[in-house]
Amino acid sequence: MLIKDRVVIVTGGARGIGASIVRVLAREGAAVAINCSTSRDLADELARSITDQGGRARAWCADITDPDAVRAMVGEIHDEFGRVDGVVNNAIAGVQQGLLENVAWEDYTNAFDYGAKAVLNTVNAVRPIMRACGGGRIVNIVTEQWNFGAAGWSVYLAGKGAMVGLSRVMSAELGPENITVNMIAPGWMRTEKVTPDVDTTGYVSGVPLGRQGDAEEIGKVCAFLMSDLAAFVTGAYIPVCGGAVRQTGG
């Protein structure tokens, strides 16, 4: 197990890519705190399925855009598990897609709340704990769309762009405390939201590996970044999209 006995918080972990990340981290030995906002039943069900298989997981409902709520949640997680080793910032909500003339400024501020404010809230809450434990791991879920800038995605990319910039600065500032900060950029991954009725032919035609990825592949990269195998990796932007993005630096 890559991360046996480590404690990891996954925001937005009740469904979609977040739930897949939770399952993989639990299989790799972590105790997983599943954060949700409105999907408490799904989060509890996921935690039960993990504990029924011998793993460790528990759900916490908290609005991660509220710093007081995040501090309270992190305190409870620390009290329950005795430490916090990692955070996966995955949660997102609200309008993400729409042409410039059809979206409102409130949509952008909501995107910034999740792409920047929520990340600051979780990192500020766990940083003293990680420092006391000798270090930690932060993984921020961004997007392959950052590289494409497709029409209609200005809201989504505004929030994720804020997350990219913040992640790079955090990696520099938290590095001396042995806290790594990395980014995973998923492609269009298959989750329970993507049914067999959805035609992915057009998308797959642009993927060199010739298939749509499964959301658990994001969880596998999270597990790597949370493990000692990635102890010297920080500030990285890792596309997990089958080769749709093939270069991110000079």
Sort strands 179-186 and 237-240 into parallel, antiparallel or unpaired: parallel
Provide the 10 A C-beta neighbour count for residue 5. 13
Rg of the chain over all Cα atoms, to the nearest angstrom: 17
Q: How far apart are CA 248 and CA 199, in angstroms?
A: 28
- 108 CB-near residues (< 8 Å, 6+ apart): 154, 155, 158, 159
Q: How far apart are CA 66 and CA 179, in angstroms?
A: 23
Q: Given CA atoms 119, 178, 222, 59 in this order, what sign does their dihedral have?
A: negative
Q: What is the DSSP letter of 205?
A: T
Examine the residue annotation and report whether 114 is marked as an active-site residue of this protein. no
Which one is catalytic: 108, 114, 156, 237?
Answer: 156
Burial class, 178, CB count within 10 angstroms (exposed 0-12 / middle 13-18 / buried 19+):
middle
User: Whose structure tokens read 């930690």?
Assistant: 136
250 CB burial (10 A radius; 0-12, 13-18, 19+): exposed
Which are the catalytic amino acids?
156
